[in-house]
Structure 1
Amino acid sequence: MARRLTIFSKLIITILILALLFFGGQWLLNNTQVGENLKNKAEQEQANNNSGTSDAKSSSEKKSGGLFNRSDSEGDENTLKVQLVMWGGYAPGLYFNEGAEANTRSRFYKDYNMKVDFKMENDLMNALNAWIADEYDVLVQTADAFSFYTAPDDLASMEPKAFMQVDWSRGGDAIIVKRGIKTVNDLKGKKIALAVPAPAQTMLVTALESAGLSIDDVQLVKTSDNLKAAELFRSPDVDAAVVWSPDDIIATRDVPGSKILLTTREQSHIIGDIMFAKQSVIDSKKELFDGFYEGWMRAVAELKNPGNAEKAAKYLAEFCEVSVEDAKGMMDNVYYTSHGDNINFFGLNNSFRGMKGGDLYDKMNQRFVQMGDNEKLGPSWRSVISTGPIRSADSKLQGTQYSAEKDKDFRPASSADKTIPAFATKPVSINFATGQFTLSENAKTIIDLQFAEIAKSFGNVKVRVEGNTDNVGGRQMNMELSRKRAKSVAGYLQTSYGMNPNRFVIVGNGPDKPVTGCETNATESCKAKNRRTEFQLIPA
């Protein structure tokens, strides 16, 4: 026979039901997307209420909010305010942050108890002025052009410090040329449009060096940005231009007979994007910068998963206001640098012999002054970097997913590699003792100064080393001697710079390819010109 519940039993059951509803609600809010949406909606409503209250403030008070006047970041010392430009390299940060705006869904918030607010600002001067006014904590730039921020006295006094490398451009920048220009060597005397001051100059300078040329060997048509350089290319006023992708594809499609000469897929280690901040801000927000760096590196590792990359593409598309397919194309044009890459880039790995940030910065620090684009030299690379966030994360970012990029896996040289047209050729005079093929110390220094950096910059292409002699002695002997000399040169680059042996194609021409005008070796001057080693860059 059923028994009725007592008043006390009913009370106990009621309390249990209320407890279940309370804790169930708490779990729902904290552990489900529905809960996250409810919390964000509540935050937005609170923000709207606050906004309504603040409407009564004076216009000057409103203005003090600057660029970041959203309720979740304005005046919030726990929010990092970061400027970005329209570039595929920033997908990891947007992915980890669950979008551009500061929010509680962000992994930065959940894992590091901080917020990050990303803002699009393609006008670098506007961005700089906002950074000076402390409306941005972090700005973006490239390592080669960083001296524009470290050299001027007024900016140097703020101690701008690079603290993270974001990516390497891998197809995002290109040199496009018109009909008749087949190699970098053919650019001599030509009119070239490019943005200044900009990384476009670095790409062109290094490309010309690969052909034994300099900026003085071409006619520069300077513009304020890469879009205008692409527009100039469509006119009859220039022969070539340095542009961004996808303008390389669009502009060459518009100009009959034109083509893409090379991109940063070949010139793979020349444009490295960095982030920088004032030293005082890095110090005062140390935990935020440590979390920002560590979270970004975790994102880079996670984007190797196709599903995560798809998610990142959607956030990038939303941020840049492009289609998801276009966002994927932007992402394909960069290589996201890992924690291991950052250790190498910032000179924290003494055994690393590849391209470092200091190599790019110190070189262009001088070149920009020589070209008249910067008034004075900036401090050395060591003086303008802050490696604290990298060092702080090192013990936590262990494993192959955080390792540095491996060298390209080149196939052994084929017979076709010996004859395929080179897109750049640089003749270098390397002296050998008569009948010898061993490199002298002076010869090694010449290789260091005239070609090693080029080989590092063009990390994704093969290098054909061609040895040449004059006509003194038997032809067969000279053929073998020139081959051995070319092999010695390649061997030095392999052992001293850790370059893959399969990257090199060894050719001995003997006396069969004399310099134009010196075909008969009639003078000692001509014989000296013919005794040369040529470095040729060929497709991998």
Structure 2
Amino acid sequence: MMRPRISQFVFICLALCCSAAQAVQYVDAPPLAKTINEPVADVKAADVIRVPLITWGGDEATILANGNAAKTAPNSIFAKKGLKLTLVREDDFKKQVEAYLSGETPYLRGTLGMVNMAAEVLARDPRTAPVIIYQLTWSNGGDCLVVKPGIKTAKDLKGKTVALQAYGPHVDYLAKVLADAGLSMSDVSIKWVKDLTGTQETPAEAFHDADVDAALMIIPDGQALTSGGKVGTGAEGSVKDAEIMLSSKTANRVIADVYAVRSDYFKVHRSEVEKFVNGLMQGEEQLSALFKDKASRMKDYTETIKASAQLLFDSPAATADAESLYADCEFVGFAGNVKFFTDANYPRNFSNLKEQIQSALVKIDLLAKKAPLTAAGFDYSVLKEGLTNVVGVAVPKFDTAQVAGVIQRKQQQDTLNQGELFSFEVFFQPNQNQFSADLYADAFSKVIELASTYGGAVITIEGHSDPMGYLKAKKQNATEMSLGQIKQAAKNLSLSRANAVRTGITEFASSKGVVLDESQFAVVGHGIAKPKTGICGGDPCPPKTEQEWRDNMRVEFRIIQLEAESSVFKSL
């Protein structure tokens, strides 16, 4: 059910056989509550507790904490806490749920979206009501939305057919993208497939069908369909003119990977669960240190990567795949868990994501109604024991100079709409230069939400000016020099307004306790160059009504994907 990375050799072979593949067999996706009837039993008493893994980079920290072994190794992080675990990879989420209900394991491992899909069936019995105990990672590059020609922005998905794995990690991904474009799941037609990758029943295979317009999939499949992540040529299994519209490198705060535990087990074994979570945090710190310092710690690094390859890919030789998994995720660590579970102001916190996900699932009948899903409510002052990094440090994600250069080039070439994911506008009054939160709170809140969700996107704040002063001066036969000065003054004013809006957003966010990455924002002053009324003979077309006149007095927000512009990202 998860999104494993597969080796380049394997996905090329899969791509080459696409043309010979039989037609995809689409499936129904009724609520899990209608498909899972496993009787609930108490957690089986055992000296060794079974803990599920999935094929994802976040689980490599769990493997390290267990001593790079399926069974807890002596002197490992978990062993030192008195834990005895057996790690079992189970990528079929439905089977995980069945094992959880039957008491084979008290733990559940998946994305927050997947756990929410199961929330209704898990809540049938108070013993199995899930408690979310830990966030491992955010997906940061491992998942993508591939589209066919004609789909340039998220709004263009309206009325389209999207292929999606049933009960997989991308259901809430699609729901969030649509919601941010002002759409809902009912605005698209969904074709469900059984598997995520590696078979003939996947979104990547479905994308070859003429009546499928878009599909969500893991990044290697997306790269195969788009000739290496560029534009599909139609050769070697790619689809002609297909492109990756959006990946989780840009939408890096959508897919959250978590662990949940049964309520009955948590009540009786809370101390043990806290030790497990603390061990996961220590494992994450040690794994991050290994990747950072692998040159000087090659022996330890190799041992961990081989163990991860064995447990996640059934082969110790699949080290490249294990390394790719790590690269596709972003560990949140102690500080990230505190933020996710306790910061009420954080737009992408547990409570907000749960509400968004369940609302979307109810709309497409994957949930009959919203179901209980609670957080553990840990005392994090206890859980920080043994950790070295308990303070999250916000690091600017973008090189501001490089971003400014890219945006300037796009402005000169009139290509700012290329890579656009979302856009919306706010309007101002004549001679207005201040943009206070009391007038623009809704717009500012939307910007903060988008900035928090699409942390890998650049947000442009583009000011526009009223062209009437220029048009009146030209009608009065003003000199070219005078007209040029009016244009420049309008451009300067529009830039000043864009800067005032950025300041207003930053101050509004600060008042809400939200810290924005200011390197993510770029201001643009268009002046009178892009009026709503259009261009007539090289000049702005005169407004015919008061409304057309007022519509030119606007600031536009544009969320732009710049993944192809690798220079804009600061190296970590």
| Alignment TM-score, normalising by the size of structure 2 | 0.73
CA change 1:459–1:427 in 2 (3 A) is closer
Aligned to 1:407: 395
Distance in 1 between the 2:160 and 2:549 partners?
30
2: CA distance between counterparts of 1:270 and 1:378?
A: 20
State the match for 1:481 in structure 2. Answer: 493
Q: Is residue 557 of structure 2 the alignment partner of residue 535 of structure 1?
A: yes
Deviation at 1:456, TM superposition (A): 0.5
Which AA in structure 1 matches 2:250?
E
Return the alpha-carbon distance in structure 1 between the equivalents of residues 224 and 102 of structure 2. Answer: 38
For 1:242, what is the secondary structure of its paired residue?
A: strand
Instruction: Tell me whether 94-103 or 242-251 shows the greater mean CA deviation.
Output: 94-103
Q: Is the 8 A contact 1:80 1:288 kept in 2?
A: no
- Of residues 158-167 and 484-493 in structure 1, the stretch that sits farther from structure 2 once superposed is 484-493
SS in 2 for 1:346: helix
Note if 1:508 corresponds to 2:525. Answer: yes
Q: Which of 337, 341, 345 does residue 346 from structure 1 map onto?
A: 341
Where in structure 2 are the equivalents of 1:330-479 lying within 5 Å?
A: 330-347=325-342, 349=343, 353=346, 355-379=348-372, 384-388=374-378, 390-394=380-384, 396-400=385-389, 402-404=390-392, 406-413=394-401, 414-420=404-410, 421=416, 422-474=418-470, 476=487, 477-479=489-491
Q: Which amino acid aligns with 1:341?
A: G
Q: Does 1:324 align with 2:319?
A: yes
1:494 aligns with 2:506: yes
Q: How has the CA–CA distance of structure 1 residues 345 and 367 changed in structure 2, closer, same or farther, with 3 Å as cutoff? A: same
The yes-or-no answer on 1:251 pairing with 2:225 is yes
Change (3 A) 1:132 1:194: same
Distance 1:445 1:272, change over 3 A: same
Output the aligned Cα RMSD.
2.9
Go from structure 1 to structure 2 and tell me whether the alpha carbon gap of 1:338 and 1:102 turns closer, same or farther (over 3 Å shift): same
Match of 1:241 in 2: 215
- Contact 1:97–1:106 under 8 Å retained in 2: no
Instruction: Give, in whole Å, the separation in 1 of the partners of 2:348 and 2:396.
Output: 14
Q: Distance in 2 between matches of 1:446 and 1:311?
A: 51
Contact 1:162 1:276 in 2 (8 A): yes
Mapped partners of 1:427, 1:521: distance in 2: 23
Q: Hey, what does 1:53 align to over in structure 2?
A: none
Distance in 1 (CA, whole Å) between partners of 2:138 and 2:186 is 27
Deviation at 1:181, TM superposition (A): 4.0
Q: Which residue of 2 aligns with 1:522?
A: 544
Q: Specify whether residues 397 and 513 from structure 1 end up closer, same or farther in structure 2 by C-alpha distance, changes over 3 A only.
A: farther
**Higher relative contact order by CA 8 Å / sep ≥ 6: 1 or 2?**
2
User: Contact conserved, 2:58 with 2:329, CA < 8 A, in 1?
Assistant: yes
Instruction: Output the CA distance in 2 between the equivalents of 1:156 and 1:267.
Output: 35
Classify the secondary structure of the residue corresponding to 1:416.
helix
> After superposition, what is the alpha-carbon deviation per residue over 1:17-70, rounded to whole angstroms, capped at 9, x for unaligned?
xxxxxxxxxxxxxxxxxxxxxxxxxxxxxxxxxxxxxxxxxxxxxxxxx9xxxx
Q: Provide, for residues 231-266 of structure 1, a one-character-per-residue CA deviation record: whole Å limited to 9, x for no partner.
A: 101222212211013222233332233232221111
Tell me the SS of whatever aligns to 1:507.
strand
Return the offset for 1:371.
Answer: 3.2
Residues 418, 232 of structure 1: alpha-carbon distance in 2 compared, 3 angstrom cutoff:
same
Name stretches of at least 5 consecutive residues in structure 2 with no aligned partner: 1-38, 228-236, 411-415, 471-485, 536-540, 563-567
1:106 and 1:115 in contact (8 A); partners too: no
1:263 is aligned to: 247
For residue 251 of structure 2, what is the amino acid of its counterpart? Q
Aligned AA (1:131): Y
In structure 2, distance between residues paired with 1:472 and 1:417: 27
2:65–2:78 Cα contact (<8 Å) kept: no
- Once the two structures are superposed, residues 480-508 of structure 1 have per-residue CA deviations (whole angstroms, 9 ceiling, x without a partner) of 33323322222233231322333211112
Distance 1:364 1:473 in 2: 49
- Going from structure 1 to structure 2, the CA distance change for 1:74 and 1:356 (only over 3 Å counts) comes to closer
Higher helix share: 1
Q: Report how far residue 117 of structure 1 moved.
A: 1.3
Matching residue of 1:61: none
Q: Among residues 49, 66, 70, which one is paired with 1:101 in the alignment?
A: 70
1:173-212 paired onto structure 2 within 5 Å: 173-212=143-182
Map Cα deviations across residues 415-468 of structure 1 (whole Å, 9 max, x no partner): 332343442254434232321121244543222443321111111222111122
Question: How far apart, CA to CA, are the structure 1 residues paired with 2:72 and 2:423?
Answer: 57
Do the aligned partners of residues 146 and 516 (structure 1) sit closer, same or farther apart at CA in structure 2, a change above 3 Å counting?
farther
- Structure 1 counterpart of 2:275, from 274, 288, 291: 291
Deviation at 1:309, TM superposition (A): 4.2
TM-aligned CA deviation for residue 523 of structure 1: 3.1
- Displacement, 1:275? 0.3
Q: Partner of 2:476 in structure 1? A: none
For the pair 1:134 / 2:103, whether they are aligned, the reply is yes
Counterpart for residue 314 of structure 1: 306
Q: Does the aligned pair in 1 maintain the 2:494–2:525 contact within 8 Å?
A: yes
CA contact (8 A) 1:293 1:390 kept: no
Aligned residue number for residue 51 of structure 1:
none
Shift of residue 272, structure 1, vs aligned partner: 0.9
Amino acid at match of 1:223: V
Alignment partners' CA distance in 1, 2:208 and 2:542? 44
Distance (Å, rounded) in 2 between the aligned partners of 1:218 and 1:534: 26
TM-score (norm 1): 0.77
Give, in whole Å, the separation in 2 of the partners of 1:105 and 1:233.
48
Secondary structure (helix, strand or coil) at the match of 2:55 reads coil
Q: Distance in 2 between matches of 1:515 and 1:201?
A: 36
8 Å contact kept, 2:44–2:104: no
Instruction: Determine what percentage of the aligned residue pairs are the same residue.
Output: 23
Give deviations 1:193-242, integer Å, cap 9, x for gaps: 12244441322233345555544554433334433211101222212211
Partner residue of 2:141 out of 171, 177, 191 = 171
